[in-house]
């Protein structure tokens, strides 16, 4: 199967800040995407965000990042659903629900019972044990981590997380799909005893130290952020990084961000 033919049917589970953005990126890349969420209100919000949000298709056209024709085509490739029926015909399923291990395991147990044997399952977890999710799905060789950076429409990193049981074909499928999305995939190995893989382990350490510096009275939070942006070229400082990840990147927020916690 060629790269262009591979994994064109994608289901994204979770229509929050990250899930809706991931669905948008995948649809823009030419995939046929169903974004699922139990909440109809969340689905309605996601449908608005992918079109009218700060990094939505309308702004992409205004900024000449995307042609109007391509934006229209992408919109037609993205649908929303309040059930998981689309999982049965998916090539790839991307989970993007909140960081709750029990909830993710329960979801993957259900997905594992619905999906075809060849489907590749990917979790956007920030650092929960991928091996536990794989076991819950009942197909440990077909599940891996695909940790996106926020905002997903802008950031280029694709942190691909393999366990000791992930097969090479699953890795290749997600890696090729990430490239189709314009991302730069980096493959890492999971250490189930450590939270955060690579990006968030390092970022978490930076946030912890920044908070200590602030508590010591060495510098204010705003100044710490300004120093890290100025000294290392971070798009946003470590003490500002969580807000955008959890609440989205509205017009009143400055800049984009690197890989986020959560």
pLDDT band at residue 262 using 50, 70 and 90 as cut-offs? very low
Q: Is 35 within 8 Å of 94 (Cβ atoms)?
A: no
The answer on pLDDT for 248 being more than 80 is: no
Domain match, 142 and 49 both: yes
The answer on 162 and 125 residing in a single domain is yes
Residue 16 structure tokens = 């929050």
Helices (runs of H) and strands (runs of E) counted in the chain = 10, 8
End-of-domain residue from the set 141, 164, 189: 189
**pLDDT score, position 38:** 95
Contacts of 157 by beta carbon, 8 Å cutoff, 6+ apart: 148, 149, 183, 184, 186, 199, 258, 259
Asked whether the predicted pLDDT for residue 257 surpasses 90, the reply is no
180, part of any domain: yes
Query: What is residue 7's predicted lDDT score, i.e. its pLDDT?
Result: 42
| pLDDT in the model for residue 240 | 82
237 and 140, same structural domain?
no
Residue 166 to residue 156: CA distance in whole angstroms: 23
For residue 69, what are the CA distances in angstroms to 39, 108, 181, 190? 30, 36, 18, 41
Decide: helix, strand or coil at residue 95.
Answer: strand
pLDDT, position 250: 52
Annotated catalytic residue, options 32, 52, 147, 184: 147
Report the sign of the C-alpha dihedral through residues 184, 142, 102, 132, in that order.
Answer: negative
Do 215 and 181 share a domain, yes or no?
Answer: no
| Contact between residue 12 and residue 96 where contact means Cβ atoms under 8 Å apart | yes
| Residue 96: inside a domain | yes
Residue 206 lies in a domain: yes
Instruction: Find the mean pLDDT for residues 186-214.
Output: 87
Q: Is residue 153 predicted with pLDDT exceeding 90?
A: yes
**Stated pTM of the model:** 0.84
Are both 64 and 170 inside the same structural domain? Answer: yes
Which residues neighbour 50 within 8 Å (Cβ) at sequence distance 6 or greater? 20, 21, 23, 24, 27, 56, 57, 75, 78
The band of 242, judged by pLDDT with boundaries at 50, 70 and 90, is: low
Q: Are residues 125 and 218 in the same domain?
A: no
* Residues 60 and 159 reside in one and the same domain: yes
The whole-number pLDDT of residue 212 equals 95
C-alpha count within 13 angstroms, C-beta hemisphere, residue 92: 31
Q: Are residues 91 and 206 in the same domain?
A: no
32 tagged catalytic: no
Q: Rounded mean pLDDT of 175-203?
A: 88
pLDDT at residue number 253: 38
Greater confidence (207 vs 247) lies with 207
Q: What is the pLDDT of residues 8-24, one digit of tens each?
A: 799 999 999 999 999 99
Name the pLDDT band for 201 (thresholds 50, 70, 90).
Answer: confident
- The answer to whether position 258 is within a domain reads no
- Per-residue pLDDT at 193: 77
In the chain, the number of structural domains is 2
Domain span holding position 28: 9-189
Give the 3-state secondary structure percentages of the chain, helix then strand then coil, rounded to 5: 45, 15, 40
* DSSP SS3 for 35: strand
| Planar angle of CA 174, 14, 134, nearest 5 degrees | 50
Which tens digit of pLDDT belongs to each residue from 29-75? 999 999 999 999 999 999 999 999 999 999 999 999 999 999 999 99
């Amino acid at each position: 199967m060629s790269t262009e033919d591979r994994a064109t049917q994608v289901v994204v589970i979770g229509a929050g800040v990250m899930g809706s953005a991931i669905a948008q990126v995948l649809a823009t890349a030419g995939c046929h995407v169903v974004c699922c969420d139990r909440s109809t209100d969340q689905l309605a919000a996601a449908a608005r965000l992918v079109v009218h949000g700060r990094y939505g298709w309308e702004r992409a056209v205004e900024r000449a990042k995307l042609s109007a024709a391509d934006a229209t085509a992408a919109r037609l490739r993205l649908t929303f659903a309040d059930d998981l029926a689309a999982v049965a015909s998916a090539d790839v399923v991307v989970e993007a629900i909140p960081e709750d291990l029990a909830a993710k395991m329960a979801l993957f147990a259900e997905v594992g019972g619905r999906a075809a044997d060849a489907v590749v399952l990917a979790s956007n977890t920030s650092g929960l044990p991928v091996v536990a999710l794989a076991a819950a799905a009942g197909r440990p060789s077909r599940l891996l981590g695909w940790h996106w950076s926020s905002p997903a429409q802008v950031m280029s990193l694709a942190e691909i997380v393999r366990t000791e049981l992930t097969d090479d074909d699953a890795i290749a499928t997600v890696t090729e799909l990430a490239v189709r999305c314009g991302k730069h995939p980096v493959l890492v190995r999971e250490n189930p005893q450590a939270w955060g893989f690579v990006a968030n382990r390092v970022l978490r350490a930076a946030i912890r130290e920044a908070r200590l510096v602030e508590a010591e009275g060495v510098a204010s939070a705003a100044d710490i952020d300004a120093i890290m942006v100025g000294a290392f070229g971070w798009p946003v400082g470590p003490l500002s990084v969580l807000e955008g990840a959890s609440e989205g990147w509205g017009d009143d927020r400055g800049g984009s961000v690197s890989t986020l916690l959560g």
